Amino acid sequence: MRTIPATQRRAPALDIAVVGGGMVGAAAALALSRAGFSTALLEARPPSPWQQQDDVDLRVVGLAPSSIKLLDELGVWTSIRNARACPYAHMHVWDAENGAAIDFDAADEGRDQLGYIVENNLVQWTLWQALDAAGVQRLCPATVKDFETRTDRVVLELADGESVGVRLLIAADGGGSPLRERAGIKTHGRDYTQRAVVAHVTTERPHAHACWQRFLPTGPLALLPLADGRSSIVWSLPEDEARRVQALDDETFVKKLGIASDFRLGRITATTPRAAFPLKLQLAENYQAERFVLLGDAAHMVHPLAGQGVNLGLRDVAELRDTLAAARDAGRDFASSQVLRRYARRRRSADTLDAYGFDALARIYAWQSAPWVAMRGLGVRVVDRLLPLKRRLAEHAAGL
Per residue in 211-255, pLDDT tens?
999 999 999 999 999 999 999 999 999 999 999 999 999 999 999
Cβ burial of 202 (10 Å; 0-12, 13-18, 19+) is middle
Give pLDDT, residue 11.
54
Query: From CA 138, how far away is CA 131, in angstroms rounded?
Result: 8
Going by C-alpha positions, the residue among 77, 76, 114, 79 that lies closest to residue 93 is 114
CATH of the domain at 40: 3.50.50.60
Which residues have C-beta within 8 Å of that of residue 330, sequence separation ≥ 6? none
Tens-digit pLDDT profile for residues 13-37: 899 999 999 999 999 999 999 999 9
User: Could you tell me the residue range of the domain that residue 62 belongs to?
Assistant: 2-398
Tens-digit pLDDT profile for residues 173-217: 999 999 999 999 999 999 999 999 999 999 999 999 999 999 999
> Does the pLDDT at position 7 exceed 70?
no
Going by C-alpha positions, the residue among 264, 37, 44 that lies closest to residue 138 is 44
Tens-digit pLDDT profile for residues 96-112: 999 999 999 999 888 99
Give pLDDT, residue 196.
96
Question: What pTM was computed for the model?
Answer: 0.93
Total number of domains in the chain: 1
Query: From CA 79, how far away is CA 160, in angstroms rounded?
Result: 35
- How far CA 307 is from CA of 43, 388, 389, in Å, comes to 25, 22, 20
List the end-to-end C-alpha distance of the chain, in Å, as a whole number. Answer: 38
